[in-house]
Each structure stands twice: as structure tokens, then as C-alpha cells.
Amino acid sequence: MDARIALEGGIENLGGASFERLRDAFGGDRHETWRRCSLAALYSGSEHDDLTGILRRDRDFRISIVEHDGMIALDLENAPAAAFSGGRLVRNVRKNLFAVLRDLAYAHAAGLWGNGRRLKSSTAATEAVFRMLRNSRLVDTDPTPGLAVCWGGHALDRSEYEYARTVGQSLGMRKLDVCTGGGSGAMQGATEGALLGHARQRMEGARLVGVVEPTIMVADAPNPFVRELVIMPDVEKRLEAFVRLAQGIVIFPGGVGTAEELLYILSILLRPGNEAVELPLIVTGPANSEVWLRRMHAFIGATLGPAAQQRYSVVIDDPQAVAERLASPTARTGQTGADADAKPAFNRRIEIPYELQQPFEATHESMAALELHRDQPVEWLAIELRRVFSGIGTGNVREAGLRRIRTRGPFELNGEREVLVALDSLLADFADQRRMASHDPAGYVPCYRIAV
């Protein structure tokens, strides 16, 4: 379908950006990223599970910025019919479409768009994340309680989805807002459940947040329950946004993306200077996910040791316990005592190392150079393991990674034998449980080779 969509609220919703500046922001190579993210937004809430195939199929979709009656508008050509109802763009789809425009335009103006951008200091990186969230109005001038952040996989069985939904409802019943990666699977289950919990409590102004970045968004469209969508410019700023916003973090079963998220937060909590941080971290699932939970816990023990295992709780089949832990008075974005009463919406007290804030580009050279051995500080091994899972995720589903694997074959991983054996076993479990994303109809073909 073709349509012209005016921006509700006018240009102030884009930080006052002029028509000319917006046209410049989405010129050249950036236009294709914007087009693809916009198409993903138009599929928000759809039942399609192969968004990458849809993006290839809808090559004739066009989007452009125009001036209309003194306002900024978007011209859509060959947009998917699923985005419309009664000839009008579905309201949530429309909101997501303009979130893409708002966030990518801001990231360009701030010099943040693109993985090649390296900020000069950790403080500068954190400030960039804060400004992105403030521009999206997720963080405003009034202090508000932190969000219950929920991470988890896309490929779940029905019982795992229902469990995430029940946890989300338990959080909502305790009047907690929920923030997820915005996509399908556990993220959708937790958000749907929170919506139900909020409704039962008749909550006004409840927040259901999805935080994505361009390569993730074009692989998994936003689910229909997200009410506030934020598009960060890269994976690392997205992950930092979760941590800075979190009152506590819940991790459901998943694959390499979920393992990456767990290793990311552990590399922060294990850092000297963060010992006193009270940030609830719970790894949980239903009874039939006990094998996944115990094997993930065993992997952390084999690689990072007991100190890392003590930084999180494993909860099996108990949604109420998860919600009670996150709703406790001390669960206030890493703070304790008198500071907990301030309930800041953006926590600057947690120290995040500069190395975690810099975009990691998964190439054959960077993956082979990872230092996968225990003869280093445990937080540094956690950073390197996080990069392993990030790189495998890139090789599994992201266009640049798929292209590199087709051209040069699998990534090769080297290191200490005990670490590699634990890694190989965990990844094999993911594949056996069909938690590895794959576009090969014949089944998952590893994009990595472990030199054990």
C-alpha cells in the first residue's frame, strides 16, 4: 500500500530537526538501514518469524521524508498491508515507525550512528547512552523507579513462553514496569504478561519498553505489546542502556544472544568497584527448562568460577519468587540504604569498563584473537566470552557475518582447553535444543570452529 503519514506532534518530537537535516541524516548508505528498520517497524506485531526473508521479498518498499502542510511527513510506497487497518496505519505501528525516525536521526546528529564510532572515554559513552534515552523520553527530568529488565531467547517452546508471560504478569501485579529487547519469544511473553498485570491493577502510565538496535530490529520485528520503542545505534549502547535502566534483571532460557547478555552483566558485576552493587540478577525458567538452567550455571562455574555464580540466583518454576525479589525495597538500580529512596531512572553508579562500551566487530581475525583462558582477571575473561557469543550471533543471522562466513568459512576460536571444552559443550546443547538461529532449512550449520 501507498500512504503519506504526518508526524504527530510536529517537528518538536524530533528534537527540532529541520527538514533538510533529516534528509541529510538518511542519505547515502544510511538510507538502506533506515528503510529496513522502518519496514521492520511496519511488521510490528505480525506473526511472521522470518523477517530477514520478508526484507528480501519486500525490496520494492520505499520510504522518504517530505514536507506536507508545513509539517514533516513520511511517504510510503508498497508498504505491507498488515500494517494497516481500515486503510489507516495501525497506531502502534505508526508510533514505532516514528521511533525509528527519531532515534536514527538523533544518533546521526550526535555522531553515534555506525559501529566505527569510538567515543574517547567511558564517561563519554555513558553520556551518549543517557542522551539517547532522554531524547526518546524514556528518561526524563523527574525521578522514576527503574525498570524490570527481562532478557531471553526467541526460540521457545510453549511452556517457556507461558512461564515468561506468568513472570511478566507477576511483575506487573507488583506495579513494576518492564523493559525487554522488544522482540519475540521470552521478550514478548514477559511484556504481554506485564500488560495483563498492569491492567488488573488499573495502573495509569505503566511502561512497556523495548530497546533494540538496527541489526537486531531487522532480524526480529517489535512485538505487539511494546508501548515505547527505543533504537540504540549499536549493540553495546543497547546493552548499557539496559543496565543503566534496570531495577533488576531476569534472564529466561535462550541461545547465544541470551548467553551474551548474561556474560555482559557478569563482566560488570565482577569488576572491582562493583562489589557492593545490589542489582538483582535472576536466571529462571519452567521445570522443563531445568536442564538448560543447570547447564548454563555449570558453564559459568567451569569458566568464571564460583564468584561469578554467586552474583546471580537460579530460580526454577517459581514466578512469584522472581517478582518478589525484583520488587524488594533494596532493588533500586544498584543502590542501597538512603540512596535507594532516590529511585533514579538512569543509574550512573555502576562502573562499566570502556572495553565493554566499544563496538565489537566479529571478523575472522577478531574472533581468532580472543583470549579464552583463565590466566587473567575473571571480569576480562567474561568480556572475551561475551564477545564469543556476540560473534557467533553475528555469524548466525546478521548480514555482514553471514557474508564473511560464506566467503571465508567458520570463525575459529582458540584458547585454554578447559574453557573451550565447556564452550563447545554449551553451544552443542543450544544446537540440540534448537536455540540456534538458522536460515538453513536443513538445520543449523555452525559458523564457528573450536580448536580443542
pLDDT tens, 376-398?
999 999 999 999 999 999 999 88
- The pLDDT tens digits of the residues spanning 92-107 come to 999 999 999 999 999 9
Number of domains in the chain: 3
Is residue 312, in this structure, part of any structural domain at all?
Answer: yes
SS3 call for 411: strand
Is residue 352, in this structure, part of any structural domain at all?
Answer: no
Is residue 46, in this structure, part of any structural domain at all?
Answer: yes
To which residue does cell 525479589 refer?
325
**Lowest mean per-residue pLDDT among 126-135, 267-276, 331-340:** 331-340
pLDDT above 90 covers what percent of the chain?
Answer: 69
Q: Where is the domain boundary, 56, 78, 109?
A: 109
Looking at the structure, do residues 331 and 388 belong to the same domain, yes or no?
no
Q: Say yes or no to pLDDT of 424 above 80.
A: yes
Looking at the structure, do residues 386 and 262 belong to the same domain, yes or no?
no
Is residue 348, in this structure, part of any structural domain at all?
Answer: no
Looking at the structure, do residues 337 and 444 belong to the same domain, yes or no?
no
Beta carbons within 8 Å of 209's beta carbon, 6+ residues apart:
138, 147, 177, 178, 179, 180, 182, 226, 227, 228, 229, 230, 245
**Lowest mean per-residue pLDDT among 40-54, 180-194, 352-366:** 40-54
Amino acid at 50: D
Between 333 and 380, residue with greater pLDDT: 380
Q: Say yes or no to pLDDT of 270 above 70.
A: yes
Q: Say yes or no to pLDDT of 269 above 60.
A: yes
Q: Say yes or no to pLDDT of 51 above 70.
A: no
Instruction: Find the CATH number of the domain harbouring 49.
Output: 3.30.1850.10
Rounded (10°) CA dihedral 214, 219, 224, 228 = -20
* 148 CB neighbour count, 10 Å cutoff: 30
What is the pLDDT confidence band of residue 228, given thresholds at 50, 70 and 90?
A: very high
Q: Say yes or no to pLDDT of 367 above 90.
A: yes
Looking at the structure, do residues 208 and 239 belong to the same domain, yes or no?
yes
Output the pLDDT for position 198.
Answer: 95
Q: Say yes or no to pLDDT of 441 above 70.
A: no
Output the pLDDT for position 338.
Answer: 42
The domain in which residue 331 lies consists of 124-342
Output the pLDDT for position 222.
Answer: 94
Q: Say yes or no to pLDDT of 415 above 60.
A: yes
Output the pLDDT for position 375.
Answer: 97
Output the pLDDT for position 186.
Answer: 96
Between 21 and 446, residue with greater pLDDT: 446
What is the pLDDT confidence band of residue 25, given thresholds at 50, 70 and 90?
A: confident
C-alpha cell at 117: 564510532
Between 80 and 440, residue with greater pLDDT: 80
Is residue 253, in this structure, part of any structural domain at all?
Answer: yes
Mean pLDDT of the chain: 89
Rounded distance, CA 238 to CA 4, Å?
31
Looking at the structure, do residues 89 and 159 belong to the same domain, yes or no?
no
CB distance 371 to 384 below 8 Å:
yes
Q: Say yes or no to pLDDT of 440 above 50.
A: yes
Output the pLDDT for position 154.
Answer: 86
Beta carbons within 8 Å of 204's beta carbon, 6+ residues apart:
none
Instruction: Find the CATH number of the domain harbouring 179.
Output: 3.40.50.450
Looking at the structure, do residues 324 and 237 belong to the same domain, yes or no?
yes
Output the pLDDT for position 442.
Answer: 65
Is residue 350, in this structure, part of any structural domain at all?
Answer: no
Q: Where is the domain boundary, 68, 85, 109?
A: 109
Looking at the structure, do residues 202 and 302 belong to the same domain, yes or no?
yes
Looking at the structure, do residues 315 and 381 belong to the same domain, yes or no?
no
What is the pLDDT confidence band of residue 167, given thresholds at 50, 70 and 90?
A: very high
What is the pLDDT confidence band of residue 91, given thresholds at 50, 70 and 90?
A: very high
* 58 CB neighbour count, 10 Å cutoff: 16
Looking at the structure, do residues 156 and 224 belong to the same domain, yes or no?
yes
Output the pLDDT for position 407.
Answer: 95
Is residue 397, in this structure, part of any structural domain at all?
Answer: yes
C-alpha cell at 8: 504527530
Is residue 276, in this structure, part of any structural domain at all?
Answer: yes
Geometric angle at alpha carbon 298, from 306 and 158, rounded to 5°: 130
Rounded distance, CA 125 to CA 132, Å?
11
SS3 call for 25: helix
Output the pLDDT for position 340.
Answer: 43
Looking at the structure, do residues 79 and 218 belong to the same domain, yes or no?
no
Q: Say yes or no to pLDDT of 11 above 60.
A: no
Going by C-alpha positions, the residue among 83, 107, 94, 84 that lies closest to residue 33 is 107
What pTM was estimated for this model as a whole? 0.92
To which residue does cell 524490570 refer?
148
Looking at the structure, do residues 218 and 244 belong to the same domain, yes or no?
yes
CB distance 373 to 381 below 8 Å:
yes
Looking at the structure, do residues 203 and 296 belong to the same domain, yes or no?
yes
